[in-house]
Amino acid sequence: MVSADAARNIVGIIGNVISFGLFLSPVPTFWKIYKKKDVEEFKADPYLATLLNCMLWVFYGLPIVHPNSILVVTINGVGLVVEAIYLMIFFIYAPNKKRLRVLYFLAGEAVFMVIVVLCVLLTAHTHERRSMIVGILCIIFGTAMYASPLTVMGKVIKTKSTEYMPFLLSLVNFCNGCCWTAYALIKFDLYITIPNGLGALFGLAQLVLYACYCGSTPKKNNGKNVEMPTVGNTNTVGGGNVSVTVER
């Protein structure tokens, strides 16, 4: 019989694979930016948000905060690097005004993380207290990121069209939420369960909407690109976002 630890590791590895795929989903957007040498109307907001989310989850998974969470650290560490690369490409091809905005946000995130790390390490002296403080922050940011597709879902209902909500991306986000929720429930972790449980529910809602409106979606082929608002959980373990470009 498979032990709880072994089952948790297997589910966590599957979650790492799914989440890695989500982290790579914006590649078409940045390939487009690279080819055109211009960020056009694309925004850095989803990647800045995901970067902060990954930093919080990496800190949460460290042995000094929440022991035995190496799989949380690995995927969010990878996400941290991937998001940094996206932001570097964005910075290279963005006009000065957008570059300054990115720098301001990065500076703000760096200051925020320094404050969080110092406060946690200096004021909380047990794993339970450290996990609680960082976990609450992860829930707040993770839930906010998982709830971001609500804007897209509202657009689907308003337009009765799923052209802004690709089925595959919605399905993967649902699977991602379910996988990390299962990971958190095997050896109960409230701070991973809440944002990913909500993510699974939001993903299911997207799939239901897709089933309701996919038949009424007009087929267009005018070669125009549309950037999706942040969707789902690029965190991997607490909510992360992805931004994709879809052909219309």
Task: Look at residue 233 in the predicted model and tell me its pLDDT.
Answer: 45
Phi, psi of 18 (to 5 degrees): -65, -45
Q: Please tell me which residue, 127 or 167, carries the higher pLDDT value.
A: 127
The pTM score is 0.81
Give the closest residue to 57 by CA, choosing from 241, 182, 189, 239.
239
pLDDT over 60 (residue 19): yes
Average pLDDT, the chain: 84
Q: In the structure, what pLDDT confidence band is assigned to residue 85 with cuts at 50, 70 and 90?
A: very high
Using one digit for the tens of pLDDT, what is the confidence trace for 3-12? 888 999 999 9
Polymer length in residues for the chain: 248
Check residue 230 and report its DSSP letter. Answer: P
Q: What distance separates the 2 farthest-apart alpha carbons in the chain? A: 59
For the CA atoms of the chain, what is the radius of gyration? 18
Q: In the structure, what pLDDT confidence band is assigned to residue 222 with cuts at 50, 70 and 90?
A: very low
